[in-house]
Amino acid sequence: MSLSKKAFGAIAFVLIILVADQCLKIWIKTHMYLYQDIEIFSWFIIRFVENNGMAMGIEVIEKLFLSIFRIIASGLIAYYIYTLVKRNFSLGYIVCVAAIFAGAVGNIVDSVFYGVIFSDSTPFNMAVLFPSDGGYGTWLHGKVVDMFYFPLFSFEWPSWIPFLGGETFEFFRYIFNLADASISVGMIVLLLFFRKSFALSFEKREIKA
């Protein structure tokens, strides 16, 4: 496959993920109350939540620095994809990295813009896009929208187990979005099928796909 076709494939894939991710998030923000559920199946629920931090709601650094870090990291990934195309890596590997890049950018859009373009979402009020009195935050301080919840199964730990006794274990309790899924799938496929390509990408020699 020619380099131009690989570049087009990577760009098209990124755009598809970004558009789908943002369309879903905007619909959730403007049609659901915060913490509202829409049950598709007992094991698949659309639950609207927001978080200020990284994946799974983890917060270890201040929001502004997290947003800046995401932007810098995404810029480095974009350059990495450029080098992969230029060095003629396989389309499969390029798409895996593009999936990670698309997911990262999808969440960056929330962090950079959502605080400015949306009013606040609450359990009693749906957000408004481009509110007349301004958004709920400032640039780079937007909250990331999550919605996919898969409570596949749960059980209670026996009381005799130290620390965990009596606690409920649920799989999968974390709520995520399409951008998170794109990052996770890209990384899993890369680790399963493209570890050699990943190692070769840091060697300074031409790749014959």
Q: Which of 21, 110, 120, 180 is catalytic?
A: 180
21 assigned to active site: no
Identify each DSSP E strand in 86-177 by its residue range.
144-149, 153-156, 168-171, 175-176
Neighbours of 127 (CB within 10 A): 25
- Exposed, middle or buried: residue 131 (CB in 10 Å: 0-12, 13-18, 19+)? middle
180 assigned to active site: yes
Q: Are 125 and 33 in contact (CB under 8 A)?
A: yes
Amino acid symbol at 164: L
Sign of CA dihedral 112, 118, 120, 124: negative
| Interacting residues of 149 by C-beta distance below 8 A, sequence separation 6+ | 37, 44, 45, 46, 47, 175
Q: Are 46 and 176 in contact (CB under 8 A)?
A: no
Q: Which of 21, 37, 133, 146 is catalytic?
A: 146
Determine the straight-line distance between the first and last CA of the chain, rounded to whole angstroms. 8
Cα separation, 95 vs 102, whole angstroms:
10
Catalytic residues: 146, 180
